[in-house]
Amino acid sequence: MFRQMKAVFFSFCVAAAMLIAVCRAGGAAQELNASKDCKRLDIKVAGQVSVPRCYHEGLYYDGKALWLSNGEGGNTWVVDVETGAVLSEIKGVADFTEAVTARGDGTFYTTEWYAKSVYRVRLEGGAFVVDSSVCVEPSHPAGAIWNGKRLYVVAWDRGIWGTKFSLLEMDDSMSVIRKVPIRAMQEPCQLAWDGKYLWMSSWYDRRVYKVDVERMEAIGYFCSPVERTTGIAWDGKYLWLTATHGDLYKIEILTK
């Protein structure tokens, strides 16, 4: 009997070792870490636009205006980038819209924190109307960006041992392709896409990270000029930032 138990235990150890080896071999694809040569990027604040105070979350640039989602029971504002004036408001599909990102076909993806869901929506009469949705429970979805091929969503999983953070990579039907643990930052928040790289804000450490999604590595970062940085958007030349109760900041990336 002892020999049989010893043999079973040995087999278990071998299997565990093999599993660890496999996980380590695929480690670069399994976690979002900072690369060894992750460097601080030089930036310049090219402008600041005052906007009304609310619970600011995600930003989306539509080519003319910024859409500012107001999270905690607020609407999404369409904001003039020159004056900060709220041109119109869009009602969300639930009570905590974190982010809006366009698909390019007239529809959008939105995330709702309390509903723990990602939605594909269309805009009708000043409100988002649901076409389809997917629940990502137990995760709370935060920032989201569609890059033309994939939908990326920041996910927070809260538990008795603290909060774990992940990046969900989804296809156009919102099916999760992979869930990548985020190790490079604390309290990642919102996302932007510059045509090649993903940009991710960190609410906790006041940094904005440049992420290579092919390698799943943060390859650069800069320090945000505003505390509690949330929304981030790319307008083709500049990054725009906001904060929980902050204004809009136009950021020029000086480091190439």
- pLDDT tens digits for the chain (256 residues)? 444 444 444 444 434 443 343 343 333 447 999 899 899 999 999 999 999 999 999 999 999 999 999 998 899 999 999 999 999 999 999 999 999 999 999 999 999 999 999 999 999 999 999 999 999 999 999 999 999 999 999 999 988 888 999 999 999 999 999 999 998 788 999 999 999 999 999 998 889 999 999 999 999 999 999 989 999 999 999 999 999 999 999 999 998 7
Whether 11 and 87 share a structural domain: no
Residue 125, pLDDT score: 93
Whether 21 and 144 share a structural domain: no
Q: Which residues contact 161 (CB under 8 A, 6 or more apart)?
A: none
Are 155 and 143 in contact, with CB atoms under 8 Å apart? no
Residue 256, pLDDT score: 77
Q: Which two tokens stand for residue 180?
A: 């990548």
H or E stretch including 11? helix 2-25
Whether 111 and 202 share a structural domain: yes
**Dist CA 69 CA 40 (whole Å):** 28
Whether 147 and 215 share a structural domain: yes
Are 93 and 130 in contact, with CB atoms under 8 Å apart? yes
Structural domains counted in the chain:
2
Residue 1, pLDDT score: 45
Whether 22 and 103 share a structural domain: no
Whether 199 and 77 share a structural domain: yes
Whether 160 and 198 share a structural domain: yes
**Dist CA 35 CA 221 (whole Å):** 11
Separation of first and last alpha carbons in the chain: 66
Whether 19 and 90 share a structural domain: no
Whether 95 and 1 share a structural domain: no
Residue 180, pLDDT score: 97
Whether 14 and 127 share a structural domain: no
Whether 67 and 9 share a structural domain: no
Q: Give me the sheet containing 151-159, strands edge to edge.
A: 140-146, 151-159, 162-170, 176-181
Whether 7 and 49 share a structural domain: no
**Which residue, 152, 65, 146, is CA-closest to 103?**
146
H or E stretch including 242? strand 239-243
Q: Which residue range forms the structural domain that includes residue 21?
A: 1-30
**Dist CA 32 CA 207 (whole Å):** 16
CATH of the domain at 191: 2.120.10.30
